[in-house]
Structure 1
Amino acid sequence: MDPCRAFLADLSDGNQRKTRKAGSFFAFFTAVGQVLGYAAGSYSKLHRLLPFTSTQACNVYCANLKTCFLISITLLLILTIIALSTVSEDPISRFSEEKKDKAVPFWGELLSALKEFPRSMWFLLLAMSLNSTAWFGFKMYDTDWVGREVYGGVVGGKLYSSGVSAGSLGLMLMAAVAGVTALAVMLVVRGVKGGNRVWGCANLLLAVCLAMTVCITKVAETTRQHTVASGGATAPAAGLKAATLSLFAVMGIAQAITYIIPISLASIFCSSFGGGQGLSLGVLNIAGVIPQLVVSLTSGPWDQLFGGGNLPAFVVGAIAAAANGVFLLALFPSPPRTDHDSSSSSVLKITISAPSH
């Protein structure tokens, strides 16, 4: 996915309007793929398409998983061949001449880019780190949270499996909403003075959603106590299921904006100081991956410190999202307006550029 983003940024050639459109379509087609993937994974008879995947050592769930992998591999090969055969990229002569003059190793080029980064790019890296911290805990444990905290099941039990299935449905709804948002964000949102404000509002929305996981969990626990006292554990009420699925759906809005805005800002900032698109996006990805490593290593012990469960990691994510939202709205610099993009700003009022003074 990340090389695709860098490729789209290079094709946009610093044009903010093209960069935003490329990010929107990237988020849309990513969402389409996720919806199809979740739908295929939830279809219990998928393995019948490839009967050889079902063996004595591999039950229905295992066979479905293998079938999904094989279908994904086939689609990737086909689409990669089509892309390599039909999409052409014109080399930029000035970059070619620079590379002919002196070949710089990757790490040297990376360190050189870090030295040349303006303050706005460092602010973007900090915002990306906070955003990644906010998202990753939920991304790791979303279906487990539904199975354990919402449905009250144990791993391997019937209630837990039902909860995981409900969580998968929620992820599919999240992807669907993200796809719609990716297309609507360029056309519906107007009068926004800078993409950082859109991203900041999305982070505040994410913080509210992560905080709502605590409320949903507490309601589910209270309901289970009454249910057990009445004669046995059952699946949560329809209202609680609807609230959980609605939470996933609303988070799709924040997810789409997260796919679009940071990449657009990185492309704009790197073009303003002459940095390469691919290298700048690579550094941005590193800023997102490092917090993910920290969260994955510390979330387990952190959860155990508070008695187990997934809520401690979600609360940390909510705090990180809220802090990032305030940072983006109050301290983050607005991106510069480019000359070739100013002509289109009157048509598309959602800009990743600052208003002219």
Structure 2
Amino acid sequence: MQTLGIDHAMASFIWLCGPITGFVVQPCVGVWSDKCRSKYGRRRPFILAGCVLICAAVTLVGFSADLGYMLGDTTEHCSTYKGLRYRAAFIFIFGFWMLDLANNTVQGPARALLADLSGPDQCNSANAIFCSWMAVGNVLGFSAGASGNWHKWFPFLMTRACCEACGNLKAAFLIAVVFLLFCMAVTLYFAEEIPLEPKDAQQLSDSAPLLNGSRDDHDASSEQTNRGLSNGHADANHVSANSRAEDFTDAGSNSNKDDVEAFNDGPGAVLVKILTSMRHLPPGMYSVLLVMALTWLSWFPFFLFDTDWMGREVYHGDPKGNASERKAYDDGVREGAFGLLLNSVVLGIGSFLIDPLCRMIGARLVWAISNFIVFACMLATTILSWISYDLYSSKLQHIVGADKTVKTSALILFSLLGLPLSITYSVPFSVTAELTAGTGGGQGLATGVLNLAIVAPQVDLYT
């Protein structure tokens, strides 16, 4: 972003699209995938559409500088021009927001597909495998970010509008697109789904964990009907009248059935249903949502400022300072990316420990311990900042760079946070799948509702 002249303070505004799309897209996509009647299955069409959007968005972001140059941005070489490139910045922001929307389109159905394919007793194992593959993706991504040599390996990606940092981004994104398409093809081919029948879709709508108000009404009406039965025999006139009424109702409703269903499945209707039917949540879901929101309230600042913290607080660099300060900041950002790489390695290792730990001491206790670890590590980052500043201020000449002990401690903290992160990525979704397993479906909707607890603190942070 900064190579396009976008001010660092605008990062929070740009990142705000993530929680907004997450608040709207994931619950809606969850409901639509629960009721999708495609012959290819309920989840796979949404996974395909989301992956295609991700590829398009990543391409827009990577080539935003070149596209802006073609549309009339400055002709000055990127190595000397440091101002704002308006067209390139607009394309970058549009692609970035499109990427958030696409990610939310994929995540809900992917999690729901995992819950569909695994039984209630396998939720922890399935989510651990999901988490381990997320770790593999993170390792590859942060490896790309930690290396600054992509432009040397693919020199043809550098142009007059796109210098070294931009060339690195292009190369990493293009390789990511290849990996994504390969993984998508494997998922779509091997994850077989049974197409949803129309009657199953109606049953799912009535028995979904959040939208079971209609089921309650149906039970109440059935109870009233049963009151008309005496000694196991129904009154003939009562049965005949009910039959005629049902025939009349069916004949009248078939003509506008599709219109009503389309209205009920619209984005606005879905969000209204979700927000107004929170009282129908399974009892344990309230605790899950509360803990999830508080947990992510601490994670999002780390994700947003981790590499920036390394560049500014540990390396004492400044992206707008002199040459040595800019270099120190860039070195710190790359070191932060390396720390996130270590974090992802621990994340992958920790994902295989989740299921045994949950079986040994219970999922709730595992989740609680992970939150205490997060608290201790976040507190340690504040202490490290104080120590680093004191060491920097105590020098007669403020030598820009990182103290070796502080840098090593920061990398250890980044690594340790991988363990609670693996639990956060896995245990809440396993608990949600278990709580909604006996509701007749609705895994996509349940995952979307759980996402509301994630995006709520995100909106508060970015605003």
TM-score range, shorter chain: 0.7 to 0.9
Alignment of 1:48-67 (within 5 A): 48-67=152-171
Query: Which string of whole-angstrom CA distances, capped at 9 and with x for unpartnered residues, describes residues 37-73 of structure 1?
Result: 1112222222355443111221111101011111222
Query: Which string of whole-angstrom CA distances, capped at 9 and with x for unpartnered residues, describes residues 72-122 of structure 1?
Result: 222222322332233211246673352699744253453575342133112
Aligned-partner Cα distance in 1 for 2:411–2:186: 37
User: Aligned match of 1:105 in 242, 265, 273?
Assistant: 265
**1:151 to 2:315 alignment:** yes
Query: Which string of whole-angstrom CA distances, capped at 9 and with x for unpartnered residues, describes residues 271-322 of structure 1?
Result: 245561110110001221121011111xxxxxxxxxxxxxxxxxxxxxxxxx
User: Aligned match of 1:200 in 368, 383, 393?
Assistant: 368
* Runs of 5+ unmatched residues, structure 1: 298-357
Quick one: structure 1 residues 130 and 275, their matched pair in 2 at CA, closer, same or farther if it must change by over 3 Å? Answer: farther
**1:86 to 2:190 alignment:** yes
- Counterpart residue number, 1:114: 278
User: Aligned match of 1:138 in 302, 312, 317?
Assistant: 302
Aligned-partner Cα distance in 1 for 2:111–2:457: 20
Aligned-partner Cα distance in 2 for 1:145–1:98: 51
Contact 2:343 2:417 (C-alpha < 8 Å) held by counterparts: yes
Contact 2:204 2:442 (C-alpha < 8 Å) held by counterparts: no
Contact 1:174 1:249 (C-alpha < 8 Å) held by counterparts: yes
Contact 1:199 1:258 (C-alpha < 8 Å) held by counterparts: yes
User: Aligned match of 1:95 in 175, 186, 200?
Assistant: 200
Aligned-partner residue type, residue 370 of structure 2: A
Aligned-partner residue type, residue 186 of structure 1: D
Aligned-partner residue type, residue 37 of structure 1: G
Question: Which region of structure 1 is more displaced relative to structure 2, 93-102 or 259-268?
Answer: 93-102
- Counterpart residue number, 2:112: 6
Question: Which region of structure 1 is more displaced relative to structure 2, 271-280 or 199-208?
Answer: 271-280
Aligned-partner Cα distance in 2 for 1:189–1:199: 9
Aligned-partner residue type, residue 136 of structure 1: F
User: Aligned match of 2:133 in 17, 23, 29?
Assistant: 29
SS at match of 2:355: coil
Contact 2:132 2:348 (C-alpha < 8 Å) held by counterparts: yes
Higher-RCO chain (CA-CA 8 Å, sequence separation at least 6): 1
Aligned-partner Cα distance in 2 for 1:112–1:277: 19
SS at match of 1:82: helix
**1:42 to 2:146 alignment:** yes
Contact 2:377 2:417 (C-alpha < 8 Å) held by counterparts: yes
Aligned-partner Cα distance in 2 for 1:268–1:206: 25
How many corresponding residue pairs?
292
* Runs of 5+ unmatched residues, structure 2: 1-106, 207-256, 321-325
- Counterpart residue number, 1:247: 413
Contact 1:151 1:160 (C-alpha < 8 Å) held by counterparts: yes
TM-score relative to the length of structure 1: 0.76
Alignment of 1:121-270 (within 5 A): 121-156=285-320, 157-187=326-356, 191-192=360-361, 194-227=362-395, 229=396, 231-270=397-436
- Counterpart residue number, 1:282: 448
Aligned-partner Cα distance in 1 for 2:204–2:411: 51
SS at match of 1:221: helix
Aligned-partner residue type, residue 243 of structure 1: S
SS at match of 1:19: helix
Contact 2:147 2:334 (C-alpha < 8 Å) held by counterparts: no
Query: Aligned residues: percent identity?
Result: 34
Contact 2:312 2:318 (C-alpha < 8 Å) held by counterparts: yes
